[in-house]
Amino acid sequence: MKELKDWLGPIADLLIPAEGEMPSATAAGVADAQLEQVLGARPDLERHLRRAHALTRGIPPEQVPDLLADLDPAAYDALTETVAGGYYANPDVRALLGYTGQVPVQVRVQDYPEYIAEGLLERVVERGPVYRGIGE
């Protein structure tokens, strides 16, 4: 895994460089803890990522994305999904973006139409389904 992480770091920084207060991919841990988190959630990406590594070992990092996109689109997709997924899974990155995660929508009583809030449909609900055939 160490060899994979060493290979991924420079490529990840090309895909997501530092910008302003936003960290680079490696500063966000994409080639370390975040890689393990991504592969834990998406184990299907690992074989494609390992194939990408095997195909591009020894090639300068700046040439890897284009080469993979041409030679092996599935490996390229795994690379980009792993880097992006790891980056945005980092809690510091999410905090800098102001993303608090998915939260349930709170439905307030005043959000219901008045006829529902007043209980005007309760008789219909209690009656249950009633079907009438054509011509009845």
Q: Considering the domain boundaries, does residue 119 fall inside one?
A: no
Please give the single-letter amino acid code of residue 63: Q
CB 45 within 8 A of CB 78: yes
**Residue 39: domain span:** 2-97
CB 7 within 8 A of CB 59: no
Can you give the pTM of this predicted structure?
0.71
Residue 111 tokens read as: 């959000």
- How high is the pLDDT of residue 13? 94
Mutual orientation of helices 33-41 and 2-15 as an angle, nearest 10°? 100
Q: Residue 133 falls within a domain, yes or no?
A: no
pLDDT of residue 111: 66
Q: Is residue 127 part of a domain?
A: no
Examine residue 32 and state whether it is found in any structural domain, yes or no.
Answer: yes
Classify residue 18: in a domain, yes or no: yes
What pLDDT is attached to residue 83? 94
The pLDDT value recorded for residue 135 is 62
Residue 60 lies in a domain: yes
Are 29 and 86 contacting, i.e. CB atoms less than 8 angstroms apart?
yes
Amino acid at 90: N
Distance CA 28, CA 19 (A): 12
Tokens representing 37? 């988190």
Largest CA distance in the chain: 79
CB 25 within 8 A of CB 83: yes
Domains held by the chain: number: 1
Task: Compute mean pLDDT per 10 residues along the chain, 136 residues long, and list them.
Answer: 89 94 93 89 93 92 93 94 93 90 68 72 82 66
In a domain, 70, yes or no: yes
Whether residue 117 lies inside any domain: the answer is no
Which pLDDT score is estimated for 22?
Answer: 95
Q: What is the pLDDT of residue 110?
A: 60
